[in-house]
Amino acid sequence: MTAEPLSAEGDILTRAHELSDTDDIAEMITIIIARARSARVDREPLAGLADAAEKLADETWTGEAMKHENGRDRYVCDVEMFEAISEAYAQLQIQSADASGELDKAQRAKSRARRAHRLAQIVHAAAVARPVKLKCDGCHAIRRAAIAEAQRKIDEALNREALADDAIEILAKVTEDIDDAMACLLKVPDDYEDHYAEPLRLVREDPKALPKDGDFLTAYGARLAPRRIDRRAAAAIGSALAGAQ
């Protein structure tokens, strides 16, 4: 069996560090919060977004984003907001798939390193047991060289396993954090629906029932969790969406 070069485990660890940087997606989610708050969406329906951002970054600006009630950059309808959330979710799906793939590679690399370690131990034991002659004809030097080479392979295998372990630890955490963040994003449609249940019922029945500058976004954008609706409600939603564009 030919072991992969030592750089293979090092490359996996480097990639693990790259995937652990989820600050860009956390920033994307924080911007969604700021734009939603600027559109006068209440804090409660945005709690899942805040939780998601905090799962992805050690330091976030979600607290400041929650204060952006009068910002200029705002959503004009909740469809636009939920499309932005859906885009963030898609980015997390890609990141999760990449991290899971690298985690599998790291686990396989660790298994290979362990096998190489066991093989090197066997070779080392054989080298130590190698017989030498009382009247040396170079056999002592050959034995020492064999022991040294076997020890070098043991050390290399241990180093490879340590690199793989570091990568596994990083990737396991980032995978868990991303999955938690995705679960938080999926809560937003239900939170939004529950918080604005009565206003949404009114606007679905009559798109003109509430003013455009209400304290929520007058359209139906909860596309992350589609719901069954009757034909009359569907017609009202279609009209609301058309009017918001």
181-223 residue pLDDT tens: 999 999 998 899 888 888 777 777 776 666 555 555 654 443 3
Run of H or E residues at 155:
helix 139-195
Among 104-108, 148-152, 201-205, the range scoring the smallest mean pLDDT is 201-205
Among 80-89, 102-111, 137-146, 211-220, the range scoring the smallest mean pLDDT is 211-220
Termini Cα distance of the chain: 63
- Alpha-carbon span 197 to 171, nearest angstrom: 40
**Tell me, what's the pLDDT at 68?**
75
Mean pLDDT score, 58-84? 81
**What is the band of 59 on the pLDDT scale with cuts at 50, 70, 90?**
confident
Give the DSSP letter string of 76-99: SSHHHHHHHHHHHHHHHHHHHHHH
Run of H or E residues at 206:
none
In this prediction the pTM is 0.75
- Alpha-carbon span 5 to 149, nearest angstrom: 16
DSSP single-letter state for residue 46: G
* Sign of the CA dihedral with 228 first, then 232, 238, and 242 last: negative
Q: By three-state DSSP, how is residue 196 classified?
A: coil
Q: Which two tokens stand for residue 125?
A: 């034991």
- Contact (CB, 8 A) for 42 and 215: yes
**Tell me, what's the pLDDT at 237?**
44
Angstrom CA distances, 163 to 107, 114, 174, 187, 243, stand at 11, 12, 17, 37, 57
- Alpha-carbon span 139 to 190, nearest angstrom: 77
**Tell me, what's the pLDDT at 135?**
77
The mean pLDDT of the chain is: 82
DSSP single-letter state for residue 224: T
Q: Which two tokens stand for residue 157?
A: 């295998």
- Alpha-carbon span 202 to 176, nearest angstrom: 39
- Alpha-carbon span 50 to 214, nearest angstrom: 23
